[in-house]
Amino acid sequence: MRIGIDLGGTKIEAIALDEAGATLLRRRVPTPAGDYTRPLSTVADLVATAEKELGQQGTVGVAAPGSISTRTGLIKNSNSTVLNGKPLDRDLSTLLGRPVRLENDANCFALSEAVDGAGADADLVFGVILGTGVGGGLVIGRKIIVGHNRIAGEWGHNPLPWPHDNERPGPACYCGKHGCIETFLCGAALSRDYRSRTGKDLTAEEIALAADSGDVPARECLVLYQDRLARGLATIINVFDPDVIVLGGGLSNIVQFYAGLPALVGRYAFSDGVDTAIKRAAHGDSSGVRGAAWLWPIVSRG
């Protein structure tokens, strides 16, 4: 069996899949706050418990924010900052007594959707995470393209393309730059836009509900968000031209974003038209953990 772990900033999820991809077990626990060692022992406990309950050993794949630096072998770019600078894959291998495959969580999301999700019939799948952060992953032929610097797909830290004057220089990003796509397309950005129009604090989900019941500022926020999303996706299409783009993360549940999105992307992409399928994730927020499980043996890291 394959065990997948999604080591997130707020929760740690474990899943066990049989050879066909059927779910044998699933657990979700809050991520212990504070230091680096407690989340690791939580992962070890989840794996030990799963194997005891199921009476078999499994391979272990882990989805985590950030990636392993090719220069140092340590985690970089993680918004779970306690992981940065740590040899997370080696520490987990030692703790679990077996080789552990570790991959960026957005890459795992894209892999899951490419294997048996919304991109299952497609060769080139780009998975997009729209949530607390904005990430992405590229999968070709059911294989994650990690890239030379292991940052392939990280479109969230490209600048917002075709910026309007009032979008320059854009909000400060935790990566040190201004105006990153993430600062316009994360959940907090939608709330910020609504607050600037109304003075009220609503979550992304509440803004979508308000728009549905006729709230004009909420509708304007969604229209602007969709246009920014289209600009961002147009650059992905210009570079990779994927067969399918799969949207995941909390904001992918906002159904208003999908209608007319390919046509809107077509206004920006370098093409006479865009008929790329832009789909909602089939496995919802379980895609990261499923993709982590699929790191064995589908993806060969060589």
Is 157 a binding residue for Zn ion by CB under 5 A? The answer is yes
Q: DSSP H helical segments within the chain, as ranges?
A: 37-54, 88-96, 105-116, 181-185, 187-198, 204-212, 216-239, 261-268, 287-293
Q: Which stretch binds Zn ion (CB under 5 A): 18-26, 177-185, 221-229, 256-264?
A: 177-185
Instruction: Give the per-residue contact string, 121-140, with Zn ion (x = CB under 5 A; - = no).
Output: --------------------
Beta strand 100-104 with 23-30 is: unpaired
Is 173 a binding residue for Zn ion by CB under 5 A? The answer is yes
Instruction: Give the per-residue contact string, 182-221, with Zn ion (x = CB under 5 A; - = no).
Output: ----------------------------------------
Beta strand 67-68 with 75-76 is: antiparallel
**AA identity, residue 276:** T
Is 151 a binding residue for Zn ion by CB under 5 A? The answer is no
Instruction: Give the per-residue contact string, 220-239, with Zn ion (x = CB under 5 A; - = no).
Output: --------------------
- Interface pick for Zn ion out of 118, 180, 211, 246 (rule CB under 5 A): 180
Neighbours of 154 (CB within 10 A): 23
Is 146 a binding residue for Zn ion by CB under 5 A? The answer is no
CB 131 within 8 A of CB 185: no
Q: Which stretch binds Zn ion (CB under 5 A): 52-60, 64-72, 174-182, 293-301?
A: 174-182
Let me know the angle formed at the C-alpha of 72 by 71 and 74, rounded to the nearest 5 degrees: 130
Q: Which stretch binds Zn ion (CB under 5 A): 98-106, 157-165, 216-224, 283-291?
A: 157-165
Q: Which is nearer to Zn ion, 50 or 180 (CB)?
A: 180
Question: What distance in Å separates the CA atoms of residue 86 and residue 131, rounded to the nearest whole number?
Answer: 24
Question: What distance in Å separates the CA atoms of residue 264 and residue 261, rounded to the nearest whole number?
Answer: 5
- Closest CB 186 distance from Zn ion, rounded Å: 10
Give the binding site for Zn ion (CB under 5 A).
Answer: 157, 173, 175, 180
